[in-house]
Amino acid sequence: MSFQVFGIPVSRGVAIGRAVLVASSRVDVAHYFVGPDQVEAEIERAFRARDEVAREFETLKQDLRGDTPQELAALLDVHLMLLHDEALIGAATQWIIDRHYNAEWALSAQLEVLARQFDEMEDDYLRERKADLEQVVERILSALAREQGLVPVDAASVVQRDFAGEDPLLLVAADIAPADMMQFKRSVFHGFITDIGGKTSHTAIVARSMDIPAVVGTREASRLIRQDDWIIIDGDAGTVIVNPSPIMLEEYRFRQRQSELERARLARLRHTPAVTLDGERIELHANIELPLDAQGAIEAGATGVGLFRSEFLFMNRDGELPGEDEQFAAYRAAVEAMRGMPVTIRTVDVGADKPLDRMSASELRHEHVLNPAMGLRAIRWSLAEPSMFRQQLRAIYRASAFGKVRLLIPMVAHLHEVRQILEAVKKVQQQLNDAGHAYSHVELGVMIEIPAAAVMLPLLLRHVDFVSIGTNDLIQYTLAIDRADEAVAHLYDPWHPAVLQLLASSIGLARAAGKSVSVCGEMAGDPAFTDLLLAMGLRSFSMHPSQIPSVKQRVLRADAGRLATFMPEIMGSEDPRHEAELAFARNKPARALQ
Give 57-114 pLDDT, tens digit per residue.
888 777 765 655 565 667 778 888 888 888 899 999 999 999 899 999 899 889 888 8
Active-site residue among 100, 285, 366, 520? Answer: 520
Whether pLDDT at 151 is above 60: no
- Global pTM reads 0.70
Tell me what pLDDT residue 57 has. Answer: 83
Query: Per DSSP, which regions of 398-552 are E strands?
Result: 405-409, 443-448, 466-469, 516-519, 540-543
Q: How would you classify the pairing of strands 443-448 and 14-22?
A: unpaired
For the question of residue 84 being annotated catalytic, the response is no
Distance, C-alpha 242 to centroid of its chain: 24
CATH homologous superfamily for 33-148?
PtsI, HPr-binding domain (1.10.274.10)
Do 57 and 76 form a contact (C-beta atoms < 8 A)?
yes
Do 410 and 470 form a contact (C-beta atoms < 8 A)?
yes
> 222: pLDDT confidence band, cut at 50, 70 and 90?
confident
Write out the H or E segment, with its range, that includes residue 287: strand 283-288
Tell me what pLDDT residue 69 has. Answer: 54
* Distance separating alpha carbons of residues 465 and 341, to the nearest angstrom: 17
Active-site residue among 79, 100, 202, 366? Answer: 202
Do 353 and 178 form a contact (C-beta atoms < 8 A)?
yes
* Distance separating alpha carbons of residues 22 and 31, to the nearest angstrom: 8
Of the candidates 210, 212, 204, which has an alpha carbon nearest to the alpha carbon of residue 183?
A: 210
Long-range contact list for 521-524, CB < 8 A, 24+ apart? 521/200, 521/469, 521/470, 521/471, 521/472, 521/473, 521/474, 521/475, 522/199, 522/200, 522/205, 522/208, 522/471, 522/472, 523/471, 523/494, 524/471, 524/551
Give 153-203 pLDDT, tens digit per residue.
333 333 344 444 568 889 898 877 555 565 555 567 889 898 887 776 666
Of the candidates 47, 167, 163, 155, which has an alpha carbon nearest to the alpha carbon of residue 105?
A: 155
For the question of residue 490 being annotated catalytic, the response is no
DSSP 8-state code for residue 90: I
Sequence ranges of the domains in the chain? 33-148, 158-264, 268-586
CATH number of 268-586: 3.20.20.60
Distance, C-alpha 358 to centroid of its chain: 19
Tell me what pLDDT residue 132 has. Answer: 78
* Distance separating alpha carbons of residues 275 and 560, to the nearest angstrom: 10
CATH entry, 158-264, from 3.50.30.10, 3.90.79.10, 2.60.120.10, 3.40.50.2300: 3.50.30.10
